[in-house]
Structure 1
Amino acid sequence: MFHMIVSDLRISPLRTVLTSLSMFIGIITLILSVLIGTLGKSYLESTNAQLSGWSPTYTVTVSDAQITDLKLNEKMIETMQENPIGIIVPEYQMDSLGIYSSGSIRHVNAVVTSSQRTKLFPVAIVKGQWFAEDSHESSLQVVVNREAEGMILSDGTVDLGVVNGTEKINIWVRGVIDDGSSEPIIYLDALTMERFLPQMWRPEGLTVFFHPTGSVNENMAKSAVSDLLFDSVGGKIGSWNRSDNAESYESVIDFLQTATLVSALLLLVVSAIGLINIGMAGIEQRSRELLIRRAIGATKTSIVCLVIGSSMLLSLIIACISIGISILLVAALPYMMPSDVPLELPPYPYSAAVLACVSAVVTACIGSIAPAIRASALQPALVLR
């Protein structure tokens, strides 16, 4: 029977090619639609996280903290890095900092923080690198965003100063990042700035960003932050607000995933209809051949097995080819995406590939049932006319 099925596929090359093309488009589109839905979700989450943190992120204002004490600040930041219940990032308010450009100081947003920040607010590295996690760096760590790149001097440094002040220092820029902001921003490592620029260390306030992990609830998070502050810089929590804005894009993600699923199902239906049309047309063209087979002793069951078996064998071959091509496409994605996109590419959707294989076989089976029934219903006596 298998030899007959293979020979059957060779009888009409055009019909085999058209059926293969229909299956191939359906399988590839199903896999890509799932991948696009995953990429779309990751892109929305990453874009939002650049500005407001991974969901959920809480913004905590701290008052009456001893943020001018080097040892207490160092203890607080080290405790934050070792905290097992989530990602905790400090940000010191220092609105007086600026960068000298064209002979005059220009105010820019200065974010004085720790190396943990990129774990909560993802960035794309354009040049260089982000802060080292070692808190005992031997030099001040400075990074600027893409909008502030034009302020970097030809030797790779910037002139940092204080607005309405006399302090000025030339600092080497460690890296340039894309943080999603349209405003120029300079990022400074809190510990190295406090250590090497004590004359400029004038923090006006402290904000803490907290992203809980696992099953940590909001009450547990508040207690953890309060204990951390009590054991280091002191102070008390002034406000506690969720700031990641996940609600603004969750509905978009749900719609995107639903739309891709519906599109995949519709494509499978279209593929099944195409198989039925091709199969019915093939039966019309092969009616004399099938009648001769019946006339020389082929049973109705063998005719049904021949028609359905041909479609199923073809569907398995095309499924393997389609999955192989889709694996190559997914592997090529990192080379096709811009290098400065803060997007973690998803792994190959194996579950979608398995579903596509099963769907291809089921679709081929369903699409060939009607032609098989019609073929088995042909009367051998017709061949004598």
Structure 2
Amino acid sequence: MSRVLRSCVHDLRARPLRTVLTALSMLVGVLAVVGVSAADQLSTGYVVAAHEQLRGREATYALSTTIGPQDVAAAHRWVEGVQARIGPQDAAVGLIVETAVRGAPASAEPGAGGRVQQDLSARWVVGAVDDVYRRPLVTGSWPRAGTSGAPGVVLNEAAARRLEVTRVPATLTLGTPQDGTAAAAVVGVVADGLSEPTVYGTLVEAAEVWPASLPAGSATTYLRAGVESFGAAAPVLREAAEVAGIDLVDRDVRRVDTVEEARASARVVQSAFVACAVVALVVAGIGILNIGLASLSDRARELVVRRAVGARRLDVFVQVLGANLVVALIVSCGAVALAVLGVHVVAPALTPHTFVADPVTLPWPAVLNGTAAAVVTSLAGAAAPAVSATRLDVADALRS
């Protein structure tokens, strides 16, 4: 075995240009498989995440009604009742009351010279919004009830631009068409994917500090559970509302997320990625085959001399094939190192922290498949030259 390995290494060192070209062909094949798999993972993750950002995470069910300021305590009991029935380890639940407010920076002066108050959509929340929706924070944090005298709020990016909020914490003056104004502390900015300027706050704090912000508005309780759990989710939402004393205008429970449709759309792109990987591997194999056949004519005399001095056909076959196999193993190790570096160092450095999709992880199945494909491609590309080498006519070659 050591003699065969020494022969292969000597063969590679004797023809460095051929070795480099063969290695590059293999490297392209391995990195193509890994890169295509990572790109597929990223594109699919982004499509699904964009849908979860706007319509809710996978398997999100909703029940809507109308509540007013007097129903805030009942709304909390509704959420607590759902949580008690499902268990926090099995699902997530949150309630959102949608109203409308007006906002302007606290520094804006009233009158003709001041800034006009902007119309905003307000969403007062019980529970964590990001448990139901995929909404990463651009800066700051989500508000917590009772942390300050002024209600803490989070703006989406559209509202932050409209109100010219460039950093947090900041102070806003919020008002309603029915009542006066109140100061609010902006503690964060969130990427929610909505084009409508929106402010988020906690329902309990809005009810205590600024009840005028809660006229009778649409309230929706969202329950994120298993994909096949609609039959269990619907009665849980209805029963918890009735026990809490919530008057349900409509008892219709619906699934609001569109993740299944997003995955169906992503499958079309996946087919294109697979086709690209196959093409890259075929190109790599053709490159190895061309290099092997081109070098065979240059090495014909060397190989037949070996045959003349006693080398068997198997020895010649192993010499030609083994050199490519050694290159394949070395290149595969290098490709794995480059893939790890790209996924864990390069990709995080180039990805903005507000990117809605989950970070790309190293696709180990693709790494293993790419390595195996590189070895198989190398053997397939070198097999024809190796077989041709064993069939060289010793007498004719020596006479020439």
Q: How far off its partner does 1:136 sit?
A: 5.6
Asked if the contact 1:67/1:233 (under 8 Å) is kept, the reply is no
Residue of 336, 342, 348 corresponding to 2:362: 348
What is the CA RMSD across the aligned residues, in angstroms? 2.1
* CA distances 1:109-158 after superposition (whole Å, capped 9, x unpaired): 111123421122112322211234xx665552300011111415697111
Question: What stretches of structure 2 of length at least 5 have no aligned partner?
Answer: 106-113
Residue of 60, 63, 67 corresponding to 1:60: 63
Q: What corresponds to 2:43 in structure 1?
A: 40
Asked if the contact 2:139/2:189 (under 8 Å) is kept, the reply is yes
Distance verdict in 2 for CA 1:369–1:346, change over 3 Å: same
Take 2:165 and 2:157, find their aligned partners in 1: how far apart are those partners?
14
1:189 aligns with 2:181: no
Q: What corresponds to 2:331 in structure 1?
A: 318
* CA distances 1:174-233 after superposition (whole Å, capped 9, x unpaired): 1011111112111111122112223433232322223222x6421111011112212324
- Corresponding residue pairs, total: 379
Q: What corresponds to 1:74 in structure 2?
A: 76
Residue of 98, 103, 109 corresponding to 2:102: 98
1:168 aligns with 2:171: no
Distance verdict in 2 for CA 1:39–1:14, change over 3 Å: same
3-state SS, counterpart of residue 104 of structure 2 = strand
Residue of 277, 289, 305 corresponding to 2:290: 277
Q: Which amino acid in 2 is paired with 1:149? A: A
* CA distances 1:46-74 after superposition (whole Å, capped 9, x unpaired): 111111112233332225x6762343233
3-state SS, counterpart of residue 378 of structure 1 = coil
Take 1:29 and 1:146, find their aligned partners in 2: how far apart are those partners?
37
Q: How far off its partner does 1:360 sit?
A: 1.0
Q: What corresponds to 2:123 in structure 1?
A: 111
When structure 1 is superposed on structure 2, of 152-161 and 215-224 the one drifting more is 152-161
Q: Which amino acid in 2 is paired with 1:210? A: L
Distance verdict in 2 for CA 1:153–1:9, change over 3 Å: closer
Take 2:37 and 2:73, find their aligned partners in 1: how far apart are those partners?
51
Q: How far off its partner does 1:384 sit?
A: 2.8
When structure 1 is superposed on structure 2, of 239-248 and 216-225 the one drifting more is 239-248
Take 1:13 and 1:153, find their aligned partners in 2: how far apart are those partners?
61
Take 1:301 and 1:58, find their aligned partners in 2: how far apart are those partners?
67
When structure 1 is superposed on structure 2, of 275-284 and 339-348 the one drifting more is 339-348
Asked if the contact 2:68/2:214 (under 8 Å) is kept, the reply is no
Q: Which amino acid in 1 is paired with 2:53? A: Q
Asked if the contact 2:79/2:221 (under 8 Å) is kept, the reply is no
Q: What corresponds to 2:110 in structure 1?
A: none
Take 2:322 and 2:15, find their aligned partners in 1: how far apart are those partners?
15
3-state SS, counterpart of residue 166 of structure 1 = coil
Question: What stretches of structure 1 of length at least 5 have no aligned partner?
Answer: none
3-state SS, counterpart of residue 254 of structure 1 = helix
Take 1:361 and 1:254, find their aligned partners in 2: how far apart are those partners?
28
Residue of 351, 357, 369 corresponding to 2:383: 369
When structure 1 is superposed on structure 2, of 107-116 and 17-26 the one drifting more is 107-116
1:266 aligns with 2:269: no
Q: What corresponds to 1:157 in structure 2?
A: 171
Residue of 270, 279, 292 corresponding to 1:257: 270
* CA distances 1:214-270 after superposition (whole Å, capped 9, x unpaired): x64211110111122123243334333332233543332111112111211221111
Q: What corresponds to 1:179 in structure 2?
A: 192
* CA distances 1:292-329 after superposition (whole Å, capped 9, x unpaired): 11111110001111111111111000000011011101
Asked if the contact 1:39/1:346 (under 8 Å) is kept, the reply is yes
Residue of 292, 299, 305 corresponding to 1:286: 299
Q: What corresponds to 2:154 in structure 1?
A: 143
Asked if the contact 2:238/2:251 (under 8 Å) is kept, the reply is no
Asked if the contact 2:95/2:127 (under 8 Å) is kept, the reply is no
Residue of 220, 229, 247 corresponding to 2:241: 229
Q: Which amino acid in 2 is paired with 1:162? A: T
Take 1:112 and 1:166, find their aligned partners in 2: how far apart are those partners?
18
Take 2:375 and 2:307, find their aligned partners in 1: how far apart are those partners?
27
Q: Which amino acid in 1 is paired with 2:234? A: K
Take 2:131 and 2:159, find their aligned partners in 1: how far apart are those partners?
22
* CA distances 1:49-100 after superposition (whole Å, capped 9, x unpaired): 111112233332225x6762343233333445564342222111323x2213
Take 1:80 and 1:117, find their aligned partners in 2: how far apart are those partners?
16
Take 2:184 and 2:146, find their aligned partners in 1: how far apart are those partners?
18
Q: Which amino acid in 2 is paired with 1:20? A: A
